[in-house]
Structure 1
Amino acid sequence: MGIDICEPGDLAAADLAAWAALQERAAREGAGQLANPFLSPEFTLAVGRVRRGVRVAVIREQGGREGAFEGFFPYQRSAFGVGRAVGLGLSDCQGVVHRPGFTCDARELLRACGLAVWEFDHLAAGPQPFARFASSAHASPVIDVAGGPRAFWDGLRERSPGFTRRTLSKERKLGREAGEVVYVHDERDPRVLRTLLAWKSAQYRRTGRSDRFARPWIVELVERLFHTSAGSCAGRLSVLYAGGRPVAAHFGLRSRTTLATWFPAYDPAFARYSPGLVLHLRLAEAAAAEGLRHVDMGRGDKRYKDALKSGDLTVYEGWAARRHPVALGHRARRAPVRALRHLVVSRPELFAPADRLLKRWGAMRSGGERTTRG
């Protein structure tokens, strides 16, 4: 096995084509998670243009540039050999994109990449070199849309009849009271993208969360992906309009088989109509109509995901490490924080008060911002 390390921008056209071809083959042969757009070359290229330290291990059957492609491993590396999944905290699928039957010693791969440790939080299921280093497993809800729109609606009404009935009723009420409801599955107006990002920023602040879009590199990443259009990864802005006005929107990434949801938000002035839920129904229906297999809603417990999902994929969290002092230090620093977060999220008696506290803090912070601006 030969391993070449390069920056994403230095990958040859043949490398990029082989990477995309491995994703297509994985989808055909039952390893659909490897076809996720977060594992695409385009996502890694986009992150590499806005963040330092992004690298790709190109794994071949033999050494040199002549061997057959075995796999591609994108990662980010610090100066001290601490590795992270590309876009850690933003990416909903991570790992090695590889051919069927591929095997590799994880520590050998880390050594070739110059990594003491590699941290992941959405490792794809299946025969991944890093699977044995997983410390926890998590459900990632999906909607099966492979049967087309009619099968999607039939399945949803069977699984969640009350949810479906209430949401469609609210859509009709929105149309009566705010004007004609129109769903656009692939909106290309960048002004609407900016509206969505403003809604999402306000939502983060309102709920006491860190505002991702206060970081210019994340805004630039989303804008780059909005203009990306490839088979293995395309930016997809979907918008629900009422009376010609956007009331809910979502930006995600689409591969040939999967629509990965990412940033949904809505105008709080229309909250009583649940426009975000209406948007998700129409998004899944449109994904079914364009021949996709899954809408991957990403890891995390939400009531709307429970109502919409037809099943769950599994993703893993953990660290792959060599015996190295840098790896020990990184885990000692990160493990307590991660353990505390899991404890709070997994126990309702802790999560509910923590969530209320964050929302109160968000309301106080938003009120202070309005006073200062006034």
Structure 2
Amino acid sequence: MINEITIHQEREWKQIVLKSLDYDSYHTWQYHNLTKDGNPVLLVYYEGDDFIALPLLKRNIPNSELFDMTSVYGYTGPLSNLKFDALPLQMKENFKRELIIYFKINKIVSVFSRLNPFLAQLPLMGTFQGVHDNGNGVVIDLHQSLEAQRSKYESTLLKQIRKVKKLGFSVQDSKNPEAIKEFADIYTENMKRVGATDYYMFTEEYFKNFLNSMDFHSKLIMVYHEGNAVCGGIVLFTQKIIQSHLSATRTSYLKFSPAKLLTDEISQLGRQLGMRYFNLGGGLGFNKDSLFDFKSSFSDIYYDYKTWRYISDPENYLRLILKANIDPDNAVDFFPLYRYPNNNKNEVEVKVLTNSYS
């Protein structure tokens, strides 16, 4: 059977994560406790001392007694104390069966999970229908020397970074209240400029709580010019992986591209901390757009980004689509399709997780 650990069971959630062979910041109890969307649960299947766990957010489907599930903003997917490619076939089949039963009992119509490209989860998730290709992301390999890394930069990139430094731009690592307030101001301005919805608006208090979490290691890296904060990024450090979580640049300084200096400096910090990879993410919707071009100017190493889009109750899924006056054959890249008219939260799952360096 599936054991459901709720967000109120902090100790149990943390124990599962710490017992997992590999995990990311996005799997932790604190990260889920800070979410603004849905009720976090950790679904755990045991066989003896071994387990498979899947963190999700349970949401009520408006005007119904039905539910669906999604994942937090970030790269999650399943956890286990075993390597996914070493899981016994019978254990994988048993987990699949019990999870489907859980969905049925709890009236779950559909499930969405962003898979983690660094945790090799496909040997397990490939047993389900609904694993979806979402394009490519960009990663910097920090095991190579800094000289080798920079040799792969786009031809003018290093020159631009050096020019910005000569103009007096500098980088600081700080979590003091003033720096957090400055980042919150820049981030809010950035989100308004790009037309982000309320879902992506975070308060200064949220950033304070996030950066002071004990569940994961985070840093706020700021870029200054003549004493003014002009750019910044929150980065997460977990099990040799740096995740570029949130970043923003003041509109008046976009022409200087301080984010290029920021990225280069974070890669150097990662080396000092013994990290293996620096994940820059992908373009908007993981398409090969101008944002992807910016990120790929730092590295020629790409990874495949995948999501799990599972319809657990096809009958009600279709009924909800028709109830929302949506064509079931609509080819829009949106899941679950019946939430498409809302167009205001993280249901545009594949279109928002970009680790933007705007």
| Alignment TM-score > 0.5, same fold | yes
Aligned ranges 1:1-374 → 2 under 5 Å: 2-13=1-12, 15-22=13-20, 25-26=21-22, 35-47=23-35, 50-61=36-47, 67-79=48-60, 80-87=65-72, 90-91=73-74, 93-98=75-80, 99-100=82-83, 101-102=86-87, 103-104=92-93, 105-106=95-96, 108-113=98-103, 114=106, 115-122=108-115, 124=117, 125-129=121-125, 132-147=129-144, 151-172=145-166, 174-175=167-168, 181-185=169-173, 187-210=174-197, 212-214=199-201, 221-230=206-215, 233-300=216-283, 301=288, 302=291, 303-329=293-319, 339-340=331-332
Helix, strand or coil for the counterpart of 1:305?
helix
Asked whether the 8 Å contact 2:137–2:282 carries over to 1, the reply is yes
2:8 counterpart SS class: helix
User: Is the alpha carbon distance of 1:305 and 1:244 closer, same or farther for their aligned partners in structure 2, counting shifts above 3 Å?
Assistant: same
> Could you give the per-residue CA deviations for residues 295-330 of structure 1, whole angstroms, max 9, x where no partner exists?
112232422201113412222135212244333345
The aligned residue for residue 345 of structure 1 is none
Shift in Å, 1:106: 3.4
Shift of the 182–169 alpha-carbon distance from structure 1 to 2, 3 Å rule, reads closer
How far apart, in 1, do the equivalents of 2:330 and 2:196 lie? 16
Quick check: 2:189–2:250 contact (8 Å CA) kept in 1? no
Residues 144 and 152 of structure 1 are in contact (CA less than 8 Å); yes or no, is this contact kept in structure 2? no
Higher helix share: 1
- CA distance in structure 2 between the aligned counterparts of 1:209 and 1:40, rounded to whole angstroms: 26
Cα distance, 1:155–1:123 mapped onto 2, change above 3 Å: closer
Structure 2 Cα separation of the partners of residues 44 and 97 of structure 1: 15
Structure 1 CA distance for aligned equivalents of residues 67 and 308 of structure 2: 14
What's the CA shift for 1:339?
A: 4.1
* Offset, 1:116: 2.9
Further displaced range: 331-340 or 320-329: 331-340
Deviation at 1:167, TM superposition (A): 2.0
User: 1:75 touches 1:83 (CA, 8 Å); kept in 2?
Assistant: no
1:164 to partner: Cα distance: 1.5
Distance 1:215 1:329 in 2: 35
1:134/1:123 Cα in 2 relative to 1: closer, same or farther (>3 Å)? Answer: farther
Question: What's the secondary structure of 1:12's corresponding residue?
Answer: helix
Q: Conserved in 2, the CA contact under 8 Å of 1:196 and 1:266?
A: no
CA RMSD of aligned residues (A): 3.0
Structure 1, unmatched stretches of 5+, are 27-34, 62-66, 176-180, 343-374
Contact 1:199–1:266 (CA under 8 A) maintained in structure 2: yes
Closer, same or farther in 2 for the Cα pair 1:199/1:159, shift >3 Å?
closer
Q: Displacement of 1:337 after TM fit? A: 11
Partner of 1:351: none
Query: d(CA) in 1 for partners of 2:16 and 2:122?
Result: 20
Deviation at 1:215, TM superposition (A): 6.1
SS in structure 2 of the partner of residue 265 of structure 1: strand
Structure 2: how far apart are the matches of 1:266 and 1:321?
A: 39
- CA distance in structure 2 between the partners assigned to 1:134 and 1:144 by the alignment: 26
Alignment CA distance shift 1:325-1:107 (3 Å): farther
1:121-149 Cα shifts (integer Å, max 9, x gaps): 446453233664123332121111134xx
Number of residue pairs matched by the alignment: 306
Alpha carbons 1:183, 1:240 under 8 Å: kept? yes
Secondary structure of the equivalent of 1:165?
Answer: helix
Letter in 1 for 2:25: P
In structure 2, distance between residues paired with 1:338 and 1:252:
37
What is the one-letter code of the residue matched to 1:57?
L
Q: Per the alignment, do residues 183 and 214 of structure 1 end up closer, same or farther by CA in structure 2, a change over 3 Å counting?
A: closer
CA distance 1:215–1:238, change in 2 (3 Å) = closer
Q: Distance in 1 between matches of 2:304 and 2:255?
A: 33
Cα distance in 2 for partners of 1:52, 1:341 equals 22
